[in-house]
């Protein structure tokens, strides 16, 4: 009996310790901040003051009338894909956003500030272009749909997005009261109903980081007639940028008429 009680006590202590660590250091687990990328002098860039942070913004194909803002994935070094975006969208100026605390951007990442940074970037760019489209991948999709819900954009692309970070984390840590301790929920599914522009959702069929059902839920929450999807069969969460199906779907989406039939 004493051993049984000892095991219960040990299990309880380990559970409480784990809960404390998750509570205190949750943002360290959520945000996988990337280091600065060196040797990119050939890429135009500028610094954007956004409240208490200074953001590094990479600029591809400067001077075009149409623009695209790209919000990358959590661990993505966006500057390393500069040539990719330059070739894919030669008639757009593409802006690659370094989140606060990532790369050479200052500040510390958290939901409310990343949301505001995204709006501040849009507001700084809007006077310079006739139209702005937004593409977001994974965590970046949460920023992209937030901008789409609060600003006038042309088109929205969300690549391997989640319906909400809360739903995603609850699936991963079912034994913990995630709803009570999680600070950053990223409720993209809430903003879905506020989207008013054509939207493409890219889903990786074998995604283990963001299981496809989370992307499908987000797609289904979009207003009727605005959402379309492409499924990347055989692909997981990473390494599909050179996949022809992915590139063709995005290019076809940007080349179609302004509304879906």
Cβ-in-10-Å burial (0-12, 13-18, 19+) of 56 comes to buried
Record the pTM. 0.90
Specify if 124 maps to a domain: yes
Instruction: Give the span between the Cα atoms of 174 and 43, in whole angstroms.
Output: 44
21 assigned to some structural domain? no
Q: How many domains does the chain have?
A: 1
Check which CATH number belongs to the domain holding 119 and give it.
3.40.50.1820
**105-140 pLDDT, tens digit each:** 999 999 999 999 999 999 999 999 999 999 999 999
Confirm whether 22 is domain-assigned.
no
CA pair distance 112, 123, nearest whole angstrom: 17
Mean pLDDT of 135-151: 97
Q: Does residue 164 form part of some domain? A: yes
Domain span at 209:
31-255
Does any domain span residue 15? no
Lowest mean pLDDT of 20-34, 78-92, 182-196, name the range: 20-34
Residue 259 — very low, low, confident or very high, per pLDDT cuts 50/70/90? Answer: very low
| 19 falls within a domain | no
**Is 18 part of any domain?**
no
| 23 found inside a domain | no
Map tokens 């499924």 to a residue.
Answer: 231
Q: Residue 242 is inside which H or E element, if any?
A: none
């Amino acid at each position: 009996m004493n051993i049984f009680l000892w095991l219960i006590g040990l299990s309880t202590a380990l559970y409480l310790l784990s809960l404390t660590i998750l509570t205190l250091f949750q943002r360290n687990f959520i945000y996988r901040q990337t280091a600065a990328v060196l040797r990119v002098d050939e890429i135009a860039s500028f610094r954007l003051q956004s409240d208490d942070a200074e953001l590094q913004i990479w600029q591809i194909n400067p001077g075009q009338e149409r623009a695209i803002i790209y919000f990358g994935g959590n661990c993505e070094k966006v500057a390393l894909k500069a040539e990719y975006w330059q070739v894919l969208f030669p008639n757009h100026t593409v802006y690659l956003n370094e989140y606060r605390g990532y790369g050479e951007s200052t500040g510390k990442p958290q939901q409310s500030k990343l949301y505001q940074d995204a709006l501040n970037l849009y507001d700084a760019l809007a006077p310079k272009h006739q139209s702005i489209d937004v593409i977001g991948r994974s965590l970046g999709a949460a920023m992209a749909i937030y901008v789409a819900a609060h600003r006038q954009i042309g088109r929205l692309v969300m690549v391997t997005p989640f319906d909400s970070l809360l739903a995603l984390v609850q699936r991963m840590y079912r034994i913990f009261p995630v709803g009570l301790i999680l600070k950053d929920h990223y409720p993209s599914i809430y903003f879905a109903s506020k989207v008013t522009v054509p939207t493409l959702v890219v889903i990786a069929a074998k995604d283990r980081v963001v299981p496809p059902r989370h992307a499908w839920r987000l797609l289904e929450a979009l207003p009727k007639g605005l959402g379309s999807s492409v499924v990347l069969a055989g692909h997981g969460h990473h390494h599909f940028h050179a996949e022809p199906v992915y590139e063709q779907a995005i290019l076809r989406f940007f080349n179609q008429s302004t509304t879906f039939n």
